[in-house]
Structure 1
Amino acid sequence: MDFREDFLQLVWKYQYFDKRGLKTTDNEIISITKVGFHNSGGGPDFLEATISLNGLSLHGHVEIHKRASDWKQHSHDSDPAYNSVILHVVWEEDKPVRRNDGTAIATLELKGRIFLDVWKKYRDSLDFRQKLPCASGISEVPDIIRFSTLEKALVERLEEKSNLILNILNDTKGDWEETAYRWLFRCFGFKRNADSMQELAELVLYKTLKKHRPQVSALEAMLFGQAGLLPDESSEPYVDFLKKEFAFFKEKYSWDRAMKYQNWDFARVRPGNFPTLRIAQLASILSKAPDLHGCIFEDTQDFESLKRVFQVEPSDFWKYHYSFAGQAKKAADRKISNTVIHLLMINFVTPLWFSYGRYFDQSDWKERCFDLLQSLPAESNSIIGLFENAGWEAGNGFDTQGMIGLYKNYCTPKKCLQCKVGQSLIKAD
């Protein structure tokens, strides 16, 4: 039967094999006192295990392989970190192996010992050819296991985003307001223009914009000018005004570097997500928010108060434009949609709160993130569709963010046996 090495790791971790008359391949009697701690980092697979060989107690690490020859193939024979391995657990011993110090390793062969019901569940419940390998059995997993799985995946996803935010905090020398400002810009770039938006925020500091906060046109001039998006020629009087304003600010603040039009992706995004419109919306948000730090960390206590921060309308020019190229015949509402506001709550606010709590070691910010996500509607995208088609419905933003984290960090790399859902599906009776 074909299987992955992590299947053997799970078999060892939960001892899903027949231990009667257990002996090593050298015919030594073996008993297992402690299986060890599963190691997800570098080094042996299980740390601090305890076994006895012919009555002699040994304490050390356990390494798992499909075939014994994988020891040498993975270069463990030349790595001193594996000298503390006391047991080599394999499906079959096709070749004797030794440690880096030349000593022999006790080897346990699991071939013919793994419980048949575990084999069957592994074969029937997980199809690694599918995007969602556990799709056929996921609806059978108890709700409590699915919830704890989502919670774990959500925390891991928030930690990943938090690492990005804390890197920005380091760049800003501990300035949380400047950090929130740069993260806001990155989130407004969504997938296609996130890096460019963050670069723009680094070129035009928030403390500079705050000096001109009530004048949205001044904010637009600085942002569009530094973004390299103001056209060389235009028949629009407002564009000429922005260019003159930018020339003034460029000299005032001694800006000697700006982005170029080529830094921005217009081709692969819809007009409503053009970076020009998003920058105009940002300028409006920043002109109306007197204190970005206060808005995000102090004054906003619930979803509705947070929502009001983003319920703004860009300047009149944008009623007829998505970019500086051409003018629409009719005016249109360019307010930030409720769908986008919900995404900003998910991708901008909750990672900031999580990072803030993590930095100051205040656990209540984590619960605040969970409360906000549970108050938001479920997202709708192709990843969520995979889970829902398998019978796992998403009820809110907590669920969908957990599902996205689960899919990216476990389903896609096929780490199903490190997931509580996958473990539940093949659990021995």
Structure 2
Amino acid sequence: MMDIPEDFLHYVWQFRSFNYSGLATTMGEKIKVISTGLLNKDAGPDFSNAKIQIGSTIWAGQVEIHLKSSDWIKHHHQNDGSYDNVILHVVLEHDEDVVRNDGSILPVLVLKNRIPQTLLDKYYGLILNLNDFPCKIQVKDVDPLIVDSFLARVVIERFELKTTQVFERLAQLKGNWDETFYHFLARNFGFKVNGSPFELLAKAIPQHYFARHKDHPEQIEALVFGAAGFLNDGFKEEYPAKLKKEFEYLKQKYNIKPIEVSLWKFMRMRPQNFPTLRLAQFAALIVQSNHLFSKVMDVKDVSELRRLFENLPVNDYWKHHYHFKKEVEDVSVQIGKVSIDNILLNTVALFLFAYGKHTASQFYINRAIQLLEHLPAENNAVTERFVAAGIKMAHAFTSQGILQLKKQYCDQKKCLSCGIGIKILKNEK
């Protein structure tokens, strides 16, 4: 038998996937499993509230599982009072008797020769699979309801993980939701490649600076491009020269320290995604939108949410430039639909969920989920692999679940914690 992890034994015990014929302890007492108990993922014994008949006595308590019975000593359970109520020690191999604190020998059930070979073969097949993800071949045969149910669970897991980041930033910003939203929105504007410098930009210019210049779009543009480090050169063109002059004054007024311009990435990018054009769009959004966080919290319709990011008043200069000093014929200055949907998915939906958690409002949590269900599924290298394997990608709710599944379960070979993997293994006969 190849090496197996302890959590595989948890699976075998939890789902009773072992041969029940002639169950007995190592001391020869007959065993009847009335209830395996509840899996405990926190500290303490592995299963609680189990009910086991040993000989003529029915015991209620906890079950501990190890690869070897000597692991009880190795893990120092003999010194932990939370293990005093263990009624059965389930092991793969028995190599040492364990004595309770009251002097009695802890009953042991050995599973080594009771696990079906078909189950072992399936488990090894998943874990040792060199495909893009372990169940690439089998997933198409799993009931779609099982798949959808587990994806729904991991979407919430994904939201919960990201919400932790929101709460951390919210605490740093003294509970200011508008400013926190502004920071995350800025990072989202940079997408994967320029997310970090965009985030640094948001930290360099607090949102309330912009509020003082709402009636002067070019001053807002000067703040954005100046703090981003793009106004250090000399310019012959009127627009960038004017921005530079404006920023020289604003920089002194607000004591702004521009970020290093070298942080912005242009290499191997389509001009439409150049950070300079994204910064122009970001500045235009600031000019156009007052209290954007409040608006996204209030607007329920997806088409209305999209309109908040459409038809931005981007300066005409950018209709013929992707970069300062580089003139081109025609440039589409508006944010594309795919990019807008990305913002709705990664910032708006996240903040709806986070605000719902913070205020204990199921209303906003439901709105976050509904938003994902009304956005198209993401199309990337990960989702393409799952589609090829037979998963139907109906909307962003599904694709977000797939991304979480791949990162937190497939890549880490956690098939025994995955509802899809468990279903495949349960069909071992």
Q: TM-score, normalised by structure 1?
A: 0.89
In 2, Cα distance between the equivalents of 1:99 and 1:204? 63
**Is 1:203–2:194 an aligned residue pair?**
no
Instruction: Supply the distance in 2 between the matched residues of 1:54 and 1:144 (Cα, whole angstroms).
Output: 42
Q: Which deviates more, 374-383 or 38-47?
A: 38-47
Which residue pairs with 1:166 in the alignment?
A: 167
Q: Give the secondary-structure state (helix, strand or coil) at the position aligned to 2:34.
A: strand
Give the aligned partner of residue 404 of structure 1: 403
Q: C-alpha displacement at 1:36, in angstroms?
A: 2.6
Corresponding position of 2:20: 19
**CA drift at 1:268:** 5.9
Which range moves more in the overlay, 402-411 or 263-272? 263-272
Find out whether 1:384 has 2:374 as its counterpart. Answer: no
Q: Which deviates the most, 92-101 or 42-51?
A: 92-101
Task: Measure how far apart 1:61 and its partner are.
Answer: 3.4
Q: Decide whether aligned partners of structure 1 residues 209 and 8 sit closer, same or farther in structure 2, where only a CA change above 3 A counts.
A: same
Give SS of 1:392's match: coil
Distance 1:281 1:383 in 2: 29
Identify the range of structure 1 (114-123 vs 232-241) with the bigger mean alpha-carbon deviation: 114-123
- Are the equivalent residues in 2 in contact too, given 1:410–1:416 (CA < 8 A)? yes
User: Residues 48 and 196 from structure 1, CA distance in 2 versus in 1: closer, same or farther, beyond 3 angstroms?
Assistant: farther
Helix, strand or coil at the partner of 1:368: helix
Per the alignment, residue 375 of structure 1 pairs with 374
Aligned 8 A contact 1:82 1:100 in 2:
no
Q: 1:236 to 1:79 in 2, by over 3 A?
A: farther
Cα displacement (A) at 1:289: 1.0
- Cα distance per residue 1:63-88 (max 9 Å; x no partner): 33334455566665676665554433
Q: Percent of aligned positions with the same letter in both sequences?
A: 37
Please tell me the residue identity of whatever aligns with 2:27.
D
Report the counterpart of residue 295 of structure 1 in structure 2.
Answer: 295
Alignment partners' CA distance in 1, 2:235 and 2:403? 43
Range with bigger deviation, 89-98 or 375-384: 89-98
Change in CA separation of 1:317 and 1:210 when aligned onto 2, cut-off 3 Å: same
Distance (Å, rounded) in 2 between the aligned partners of 1:187 and 1:114:
49
Matches within 5 A, 1:186-335: 186-255=187-256, 257-267=257-267, 269-298=269-298, 300-311=299-310, 312=312, 314-324=314-324, 326-335=325-334
* Greater displacement, 122-131 / 10-19: 122-131
Moved more, 392-401 or 80-89: 80-89
Q: What is the deviation of 1:304? A: 0.8
For residue 362 of structure 1, what is the aligned residue in structure 2?
A: 361
Q: Deviations over 1:18-68 (max 9, x none)?
A: 223222233343333332322334444323434344445544433333344
Cα distance in 1 between the residues matched to 2:194 and 2:82 = 43
Contact 1:128 1:414 in 2 (8 A): no
Distance in 1 separating the partners of 2:214 and 2:53: 72
The separation in 2 between residues aligned to 1:215 and 1:249, in whole angstroms, is 13
Displacement after TM superposition at 1:308 (Å) = 0.8
What are the ranges of 5 or more consecutive residues in structure 1 without an aligned counterpart?
none
Q: Residue 162 of structure 1: CA displacement?
A: 1.4
Amino acid at match of 2:335: I
- 88-97 vs 289-298, which deviates more? 88-97
Q: d(CA) in 2 for partners of 1:224 and 1:73? A: 60
From the superposition, tell whether residues 139 and 214 of structure 1 become closer, same or farther in structure 2 (CA, over 3 Å).
farther
What's the CA shift for 1:258?
3.5
Which residue of 1 is the match for residue 94 of structure 2?
Answer: 93
Is 1:10 aligned with 2:15?
no
CA contact (8 A) 2:218 2:243 kept: yes
Alpha carbons of structure 1 residues 128 and 207: separation in structure 2 relative to 1, 3 Å: same
Aligned equivalents of 2:198 and 2:41: distance in 1? 35
Name the CA distance, whole Å, in 1 between partners of 2:260 and 2:335. Answer: 26
Which residue pairs with 1:118 in the alignment? Answer: 119
Aligned residues of 2:201 and 2:227 also touching (Cα < 8 A): yes
The answer as to whether partners of 1:214 and 1:288 remain within 8 angstroms in 2 is: no
Cα distance in 1, alignment partners of residues 102 and 335 from structure 2: 65
How many residues align? The count is 426
CA distance in 2, matches of 1:391, 1:252: 59
The 2-side partners of 1:63 and 1:362 are apart by 39
Q: Deviations over 1:303-346 (max 9, x none)?
A: 1101111112522222233333x413312112111111111111
Could you say which residue in structure 1 is the equivalent of 2:181?
Answer: 180
Give the C-alpha shift of residue 103 in structure 1. Answer: 7.8
Displacement of 1:424 in angstroms is 1.0
Where do 5+ consecutive residues of structure 2 fail to align?
none
CA distance in 2 between partners of 1:213 and 1:83 (Å): 68
1:275 partner letter: P
Matched residue SS, 2:326: coil
Alpha-carbon contact 2:322-2:328 (below 8 Å) kept: no
Contact 1:31 1:53 (C-alpha < 8 Å) held by counterparts:
yes
For the 8 Å contact 1:32–1:52, the answer to whether it is kept is yes
- Answer yes or no: is 1:51 the counterpart of 2:62: no
State the 1:120 CA deviation.
4.7
**2:100–2:106 Cα contact (<8 Å) kept:** yes
Do 2:377 and 2:396's aligned partners in 1 also have CA atoms closer than 8 Å?
A: yes
The alpha-carbon distance between structure 1 residues 395 and 401, as it changes in their structure 2 partners (threshold 3 A), is same
Question: Over the residues paired in the alignment, what is the CA RMSD in angstroms?
Answer: 2.7
Contact kept, 8 Å, 2:300 with 2:367, in 1: the verdict is no
